[in-house]
Amino acid sequence: MKKLFLLFLAGSMMFLSSCSKDEATAVSNGAMSSDEVAEIVSMSLSEDAMGATSVIESSVEVSSTASKPSRVKSSDIVYSKDTTITKVSNPSALISYSMTTSYEYNFTLDSIGTPKSSVVSYSYSGNFDAPRLSSAHNGSGVLSIGNLGNSVCEVNGSYERASDVLTKGIRAKESNSNTKLVFQSVLVDKSIRRIQSGTATLTMSGSVPRKGDYSFSGTVIFEGNDLASLTIEGKKYTINLRNGAYEAQ
C-alpha cells in the first residue's frame, strides 16, 4: 500500500511539474494575457480614446468634403492638402484624452476637379486616461480611400501605435506595446461617417518589466453598428468602437 501511495505521489508531482512548466511557458510567451491585449487593442480602436476608428472616420470626412481646385487642366490631377488637428476631451468625459494629428492628403481628381480618391499619410501623439487603462502614445500610418463619389467609400491601409500603458485595478501593470493594424476593404458610410464592414489584421508586441516580452497576432472584423469582433490566439471578443468596451464571447 505504501509503495502504491508513493507511486501515486510521484505521478502527481510529475503532472503538477508538467502543468507548472506549461504555465511558465504561457507567461513567458505572453507576459501579457490575451484579455489584457484585447483591452489595449479595444482602446487603440476606440473613437473616445482617439484610436484608429477616429482616424479613419476623420480622414473620410475631410476627403469627402474637400473643395476642388479652381483650375483643372486634365483628368486625374493630383493635389495635396495638409492639416493638423488637436483634440481635447470634455472635462466631464469618462475617457479623458489629448491628441494632435498631422494629416497629408493627396487627392486624385476627375476631369472636372472633383476628388475621386485620396491617399492620407498621418502621424500623431497623445494620451488618454480611461477607467481601466491609461496610455501615452504616438504613431503613424497611411490610408487609401476610394470611391469618394459614392455614398460608401472603401478604406485600405495601416495604423500603428507605440504606447506606454498602465493597466489599473487590483492587478495593476505597466507595459509597453507596439500595435499594428492593417485594414482591408473597410467600408465607411460618408453621410454618418461610420464604419460598416471590413477586416483588419493585428500584430502586437511589447514587454512587461520583470516579466519579459510578449507577442500576439489576431484579426478584427468590423460588423457595423459601432461593433467589431476581435480574435486573438483563438479567443474571441466583441469591441465597442465608440467607447472601447470589450467582452469575451
Q: Starting at the edge strand that comes first in sequence, how are the strands of the sheet with 133-146 ordered?
A: 78-88, 96-109, 115-129, 133-146, 152-167, 173-189, 194-208, 212-224, 227-232, 235-240, 246-248
Number of domains the chain contains = 2
Determine the structural domain holding residue 216 and report its residue range.
Answer: 31-248
E strand segments, the chain: 78-88, 96-109, 115-129, 133-146, 152-167, 173-189, 194-208, 212-224, 227-232, 235-240, 246-248
Are both 36 and 24 inside the same structural domain? no
Each residue of 161-216: pLDDT tens digit? 999 999 998 778 899 999 999 999 999 999 999 999 999 999 999 999 988 999 99
Q: Is the pLDDT of residue 25 over 80?
A: no
Are 14 and 106 in a shared domain? no
Same domain, 16 and 54: no
Q: Are residues 68 and 7 in the same domain?
A: no
Q: How confident is the model at residue 22 (pLDDT cuts 50, 70, 90)?
A: very low
The verdict on 148 and 69 lying in the same domain is: yes
Q: Are 38 and 124 members of one domain?
A: yes
d(CA 46, CA 130): 11
Q: What are the strands, taking DSSP E only, across 25-90?
A: 78-88
Q: How far apart are CA 189 and CA 240, in angstroms?
A: 18
Residues 147, 236, single domain; the answer is yes
22-36, 48-62, 176-190, 199-213, range with the lowest pLDDT? 22-36
Condensed to tens digits (0 to 9), the pLDDT of residues 71-108 reads 655 556 677 888 899 999 999 999 999 999 999 999 98
pLDDT of res. 14 = 40
Q: H/E/C letters for each residue in 213-242?
A: EEEEEEEEEEEECCEEEEEECCEEEEEECC
Lowest-confidence pick of 13-17, 23-27, 218-222: 23-27
Whether 100 and 63 map to the same domain: the answer is: yes
Clarify whether residues 115 and 171 are in a common domain: yes
Joined grid coordinates for residue 123: 502621424
Same domain, 20 and 79: no
- Are residues 118 and 163 both part of a single domain? yes
Q: Dump pLDDT digits (tens) for 117-159.
A: 999 999 999 999 999 999 999 999 999 999 998 999 999 999 9
* One domain, residues 62 and 3: no
Report the predicted TM-score, pTM, of the whole model to 2 decimal places: 0.84
